[in-house]
Structure 1
Amino acid sequence: MAAPNYGYEKRQKELAKKKKKEEKLRDKANRKLGPSSEGLMPGDPETDVASLERDAPIAPVLPTKNG
């Protein structure tokens, strides 16, 4: 019986780990480019309609003549 080739197994694990990391980075970059076509992201203040209804817009404070 042949001896196990641990170097080959280790290399395969490293390649799988590298591939998974690259996929995660690519997915993250795609999410940054724009919202997904699946719909609104829950909890995102820019796209969450419920949070827009709950939080009224704040009027900017303008300086007055008295200070």
Structure 2
Amino acid sequence: MARKPNYDFERRERERLKAIKVAEKAEAKRQAREKARAENAGAENAGEAPPAGVEPAPDKG
């Protein structure tokens, strides 16, 4: 004998799983975006002078 369908539960379960998947994808995109920003910031600052307000160490000579 077949089971009685519980449409509300099944729909909520599908929506819950979909929400988890969407959240995981958004988190992965956020992490990738932060990583790309960090890499770009590192590449841009590699050959530049230190930021304003930072003074070089005094010479001991």
2:36 pairs with 1:22:
yes
Q: Deviations over 1:17-41 (max 9, x none)?
A: 00001001100111102125x4263
Q: Alpha carbon RMSD of aligned pairs, Å?
A: 2.1
Name structure 1 gaps, 5 residues minimum. Answer: 43-47, 57-67
Task: Give CA deviations for 1:36-59 in whole Å, capped at 9, x if unaligned.
Answer: 5x42634xxxxx1x512xx00xxx
| TM-score between both structures, scaled by the size of structure 1 | 0.56
Gaps of 5+ in 2: 1-10
Structure 1 residue 51 and structure 2 residue 27: aligned?
no
Give TM-score scaled by structure 2 length: 0.60
1:8 & 1:16 partners in 2: Cα distance? 12
Give, as a single letter, the amino acid of the residue that structure 2 aligns with 1:51: P
Indicate the residue corresponding to 1:10 in structure 2: 24
Identity %: 6
Q: What is the aligned partner in structure 2 of residue 41 from structure 1?
A: 54
Aligned residues, how many? 47
For CA contacts below 8 A with separation 6 or more, give which structure has more relative contact order. 1
**Quick check: which one's helix share is greater?**
2
